[in-house]
Structure 1
């Protein structure tokens, strides 16, 4: 089972997305802020990280930078999640080390496609 770390401070978004991902076969671990997200990435070494960019304590941009600066974690793909759909927001996320960008509200099928394309092996069913 592929493991995903969902870093999202909004409880409703976190709950909805984690339940849908679990139904699709992903093993989901959640973090509520950027600091916890970095710590859980170090601890669990997920196959993929979904990173909200507007997070408390440590922004998603800075959390992604810290993860990508760690030689043991840099190969983990990160998909940035943001309610901001401006071209600069996508570019800033990619510059911070994110591998993909998805706007909110999340179009679930598109997100699953991106997640599957970034993980090794067969995507969950």
Structure 2
């Protein structure tokens, strides 16, 4: 079974994403910020990270840059999940190492298609 780490400071978004991912047969873990997510990745690297952009403690971009410096068993796919929709934000995310980008609010079909694009669904 594939694993996904949902990283978002919104409990509601984590709950919605968890429900969608579980219907797609993912085992789901959650983190409320980038620092917590990095610690979880060190313990057990997920197949994919669903990553929010704006979070306290450590933002999505800070997490993505830190993830790139980690020595993990494998590099998880990273799907940015955010309300930031400007081309500059999308370009910055991809350049920093994101594999795909999904806009909030998202639905099951949209998330499923993004996971298929990155090869984990």
Is this a same-fold pair by TM over 0.5?
yes
Extract unaligned runs of 5+ from structure 2. Answer: none
State the Cα distance separating 1:28 from its structure 2 match.
0.4
Any conservation in 2 of the 1:50–1:81 contact (CA below 8 Å)? yes
Matched, 1:39 2:48: no
- Residue 8 of structure 1 corresponds to 8
- Residue 111 of structure 1 corresponds to 111
| Secondary structure of residue in 1 paired with 2:72 | coil
Any conservation in 2 of the 1:4–1:46 contact (CA below 8 Å)? yes
- C-alpha distance in 1, partners of 2:107/2:90? 16
| Secondary structure of residue in 2 paired with 1:89 | helix
| Secondary structure of residue in 1 paired with 2:85 | coil
Higher mean displacement: 69-78 or 26-35: 69-78
Extract unaligned runs of 5+ from structure 1. Answer: none
State the Cα distance separating 1:108 from its structure 2 match.
2.6
Encode CA deviations 1:33-62: one digit per residue, 9 max, x unaligned. Answer: 110011111111100111101011001001
The structure-2 alpha-carbon separation of the partners of 1:73 and 1:37, relative to structure 1 and needing over 3 Å to count, comes to farther
**RMSD over aligned Cα atoms:** 1.5
State the Cα distance separating 1:119 from its structure 2 match.
3.4
State the Cα distance separating 1:74 from its structure 2 match.
6.2
The structure-2 alpha-carbon separation of the partners of 1:20 and 1:107, relative to structure 1 and needing over 3 Å to count, comes to closer
Any conservation in 2 of the 1:67–1:74 contact (CA below 8 Å)? no
The structure-2 alpha-carbon separation of the partners of 1:73 and 1:96, relative to structure 1 and needing over 3 Å to count, comes to farther
TM-score (norm 1): 0.89
